[in-house]
């Protein structure tokens, strides 16, 4: 796709300290004070966006289309979690990322795959408004 500077190996990390607003209790996905799965997913998607930031071409963005996420370990409030996304494949406009999350003890908190599609931002938003 013209204007894109993409290839496998692009990666980004996002580091967070789990706060009360990140917990399953707060987001409504459970009733325990640990990192919520929806919050882990949001962090994984944010890392994919960061991995390709500035490389999609003028007027383009990417949107999420598919997620496969394994939430493997609980992270209590105060735990430091690093979420990493690495671009593993580019197939036309489709981008595939391997995502992983580890805590400050080295425990694998989660892993999976996130797929995104590159779109023209204005055309996408015009289609949403209809």
Of residues 17, 23, 25, 37, which has the active-site annotation?
Answer: 37
Of 16, 35, 15, whose CA–CA distance to 25 is shortest?
A: 35
45 is a catalytic site residue: yes
Confirm whether residue 116 is marked as ligand binding. yes
Of 88, 128, 87, 79, whose CA–CA distance to 108 is shortest?
A: 79
The pair of structure tokens assigned to 123 is 């055309």
Contact 53, 6 (CB under 8 A): no
Rounded CA separation 47/52 (Å):
9
Of residues 45, 48, 86, 102, which has the active-site annotation?
Answer: 45
Confirm whether residue 9 is marked as ligand binding. no
Of residues 71, 84, 86, 102, which has the active-site annotation?
Answer: 71
Catalytic positions, written as ranges: 37, 45, 71
- Binding-site members are 64, 116
Known binding-site residues for CoA equal 64
Binding-site residues for substrate? 64, 116
């Amino acid at each position: 796709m013209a204007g894109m500077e993409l290839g496998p190996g692009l990666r980004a990390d996002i580091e967070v300290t789990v706060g009360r607003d990140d917990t399953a209790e707060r987001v409504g996905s459970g009733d325990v004070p640990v990192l919520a799965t929806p919050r882990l997913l949001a962090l994984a998607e944010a890392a994919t966006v960061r991995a390709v930031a500035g490389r999609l071409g003028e007027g383009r963005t990417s949107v999420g289309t598919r997620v496969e996420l394994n939430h493997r370990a609980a992270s209590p409030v105060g735990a430091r979690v690093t979420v990493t996304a690495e671009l593993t494949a580019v197939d036309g406009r489709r981008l595939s990322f391997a995502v992983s999350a580890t805590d400050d003890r080295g425990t694998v908190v989660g892993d999976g795959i996130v797929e995104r599609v590159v779109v023209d931002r204005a055309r996408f938003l015009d289609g949403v408004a209809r």
